[in-house]
Structure 1
Amino acid sequence: MAEQYGRTGGAVAAAGLTACVCLLASGCAGSGAAAEDARPADPVRTLHQAADTLVDAGTSKARTSMEMATGGTRVTIRGEGVYDYTRQRGRLKVMLPQDPSGQTEHRPITELLAPGALYMKNRGAGVPADKWVRVDTSTLSDGNLVTGGATDPYAAAEVLRGTRTAQYVGRTEIAGTEVNHYRGTADLTEAARTASPEGRASLAAAAKGFAKAEVPFDVYLDDEGRIRKIRHRFSFVNGRQQATVAVASTTLLYDFGAPVDVRLPPEEDIYAGRIAEE
């Protein structure tokens, strides 16, 4: 059942969720004639077009998983929802990990994704339950590739616009669908330069904010060129502890053409107060 919201503006910092983040491709490849027939002539060019292919597909459902590791600490944040690629809007329900004691259960955070903005509800940290937090993603050092606990599916695809090197690994299967597996490295600076107008500022922020602008990835495309699974490996420096945090972000896309209606919250529903750090 689609949630109904209206458009908004305003900006606040997502300090608490960023602090939570900072605390912290399987399958058998095919062989023979079928695999040879599927081999692309130019993997780099194919991946440059992956984001545009999602726009042509219109909408899909999505599942996300973000694994973060620093020192001896490892956490996983999972999400599930829908995305409209033509409007670059999505809605995810994100589950934060339990406290190390395992005793505290976190309420799911509802996230609305839009060009240049991240909206969060059930944010906690002193935010009223009926209010939304809005974050300008161009002000985040990772461009919201990490901060929200889930990588925006369209932003994940736009990272591939910066593909520098890529190789075709082979055929495999994901959730009953035959796919082509590619592995390579993308440059965030190049991705920002060639991204859609709505996505450039966020990717440019990520290119400057991550420890490295080069992003290794594995991606699986179906026979229509649509991303079915993509896994990025990001690296950033925790500003407080000056420790490098390794992040593996995985996004699964399925049920293309599913109905999606994402409306952003009105101005009066945006929390403008101070956000406590958790």
Structure 2
Amino acid sequence: MEFQQRGLGVRRRVRAVAGVVSGGLLAMSLATVSGCSTETAADERPGGTARESAVTVLHRAADVLVRSGSSRVRTTMETATGGTRVSIRGSGAYDFEKRRGRLRLLLPRDAMGAAEHAPITELLASGALFMRNRGAGIPRDKWVRVDTTDIPDGNLVTGGATDPLTAAELLRGVRKASLVGEEGLDGDLVRHYRGITDIGRAARLASEGARGSLVAAARGFDESTVTFDAYLDGLGRLREVRHRFTVTSRADGQEATAGPDAARRRGAVGVASTTELYDFGAPAVVELPKPTDIYTGKVGSPQK
């Protein structure tokens, strides 16, 4: 079943995925990727005796998280279309060593239609997303399993939250970045970086657990480059990162064809995904569902 949010078209490619992903928590369209340069440029970090480039610091952010063990997580995903802003907020914990996390997502009233949707539980794992309380006739005690390497966007936005470690892995593809300055965040002093990353480059440099999803994303986005703001503490741990993705669609929801007026027929929609990490070392016990707990029937668009 096709799911639309106030005029935000869903292309045929995504409708095919909707049978597996239940239409996506953030109604959007995804497109085939266009090529782009992977040249890396960097602004040097001012001050200090060891002058590291901003790009170098950001490239290793994912590795630092893995060494940090675990943390609590807050997520926010926002988009606006037709004058309406849609936000999905989540909270939970993540084990960076095991690459597993658990989130509880709160969906706004308009994101799922007229009726308010109950909170959704998501389990994040390497190459997989498990969702419970999806509605659409799925029993409350059953999980829906999604192969994130088969989703056109690699589940960077479809599930309503970006996997925290994948958000850090995206920074391996940073092409250009600069240090904005030092700021306070949750009582700590952090360094604020701003720049551009490339999904395709990140996919090639990603760790094994993230590579499949990022390869799918590199194929699925029209815009391979993503702007970001990242905040790292004195230990090099990523404390917050905000990626701004661009997805495109035709107003009539049909797939745009190549040609001189193709860009005009497509509409660009911005999706901002923010991941906040705090309370490092907090327990993050995540047990994946047993095969008998996974729903194997047909999945429709989510409803109350």
TM-score range, shorter chain: 0.7 to 0.9
Does residue 21 (structure 1) correspond to residue 27 (structure 2)? The answer is yes
What SS does structure 1 have at the residue aligned with 2:301? coil
Map of 2:148 onto structure 1: 137
Cα pair 1:170 1:181 within 8 Å, conserved: yes
Cα pair 2:86 2:110 within 8 Å, conserved: no
Task: Single out whichever of 70-79 and 219-228 deviates more from structure 2.
Answer: 70-79
What SS does structure 1 have at the residue aligned with 2:239? strand
Alignment partners' CA distance in 1, 2:79 and 2:173? 23
Give the drift of 1:38. 9.5
Map of 2:262 onto structure 1: none
Give the drift of 1:245. 2.2
Letter of the aligned partner of 1:255 in structure 2? Answer: D
Cα pair 1:116 1:199 within 8 Å, conserved: yes
Does residue 69 (structure 1) correspond to residue 77 (structure 2)? The answer is no
Map of 2:295 onto structure 1: 271
Change (3 A) 1:266 1:38: farther
Letter of the aligned partner of 1:266 in structure 2? Answer: K
Change (3 A) 1:272 1:212: same
Does residue 87 (structure 1) correspond to residue 98 (structure 2)? The answer is yes
Cα pair 2:181 2:192 within 8 Å, conserved: yes
Give the drift of 1:196. 0.7
Map of 1:218 onto structure 2: 229
Give the drift of 1:270. 0.5
Map of 2:134 onto structure 1: 123
Letter of the aligned partner of 1:248 in structure 2? Answer: A
Change (3 A) 1:102 1:194: closer
Alignment partners' CA distance in 2, 1:215 and 1:146? 13
Letter of the aligned partner of 2:191 in structure 1? Answer: N
TM-score w.r.t. structure 2 length? 0.79
Map of 1:261 onto structure 2: 285
Map of 2:261 onto structure 1: none
Cα pair 1:40 1:168 within 8 Å, conserved: no
Alignment partners' CA distance in 2, 1:159 and 1:235? 15
Does residue 105 (structure 1) correspond to residue 111 (structure 2)? The answer is no
Q: 195, 199, 208: which is aligned to 2:210? A: 199
Alignment partners' CA distance in 2, 1:120 and 1:141? 18
What SS does structure 1 have at the residue aligned with 2:139? coil
CA RMSD of aligned residues (A): 2.1
Letter of the aligned partner of 1:84 in structure 2? Answer: D
Letter of the aligned partner of 1:174 in structure 2? Answer: L
Q: 163, 168, 178: which is aligned to 2:189? A: 178
Does residue 43 (structure 1) correspond to residue 49 (structure 2)? The answer is no
Change (3 A) 1:261 1:101: closer
TM-score w.r.t. structure 1 length? 0.87
Structure 2: which 5+ runs fail to align?
1-18, 30-45, 255-265
What SS does structure 1 have at the residue aligned with 2:285? coil
Give the drift of 1:211. 2.0
Alignment partners' CA distance in 2, 1:40 and 1:65? 33
Alignment partners' CA distance in 2, 1:39 and 1:228? 22
Task: Single out whichever of 155-164 and 234-243 deviates more from structure 2.
Answer: 234-243
Change (3 A) 1:267 1:101: closer
Change (3 A) 1:170 1:40: farther
Cα pair 2:86 2:111 within 8 Å, conserved: no
Alignment partners' CA distance in 1, 2:67 and 2:112? 46
C-alpha distance after superposition, 1:223-246 (max 9, x if no partner): 000011100000112473654321
What SS does structure 1 have at the residue aligned with 2:20? coil
Alignment partners' CA distance in 2, 1:197 and 1:39? 30
What SS does structure 2 have at the residue aligned with 1:139? coil
Change (3 A) 1:93 1:100: closer
Change (3 A) 1:40 1:123: farther
Alignment partners' CA distance in 1, 2:50 and 2:272? 27
Change (3 A) 1:38 1:112: farther
Cα pair 1:21 1:149 within 8 Å, conserved: no
Does residue 165 (structure 1) correspond to residue 176 (structure 2)? The answer is yes
What SS does structure 2 have at the residue aligned with 1:268? helix
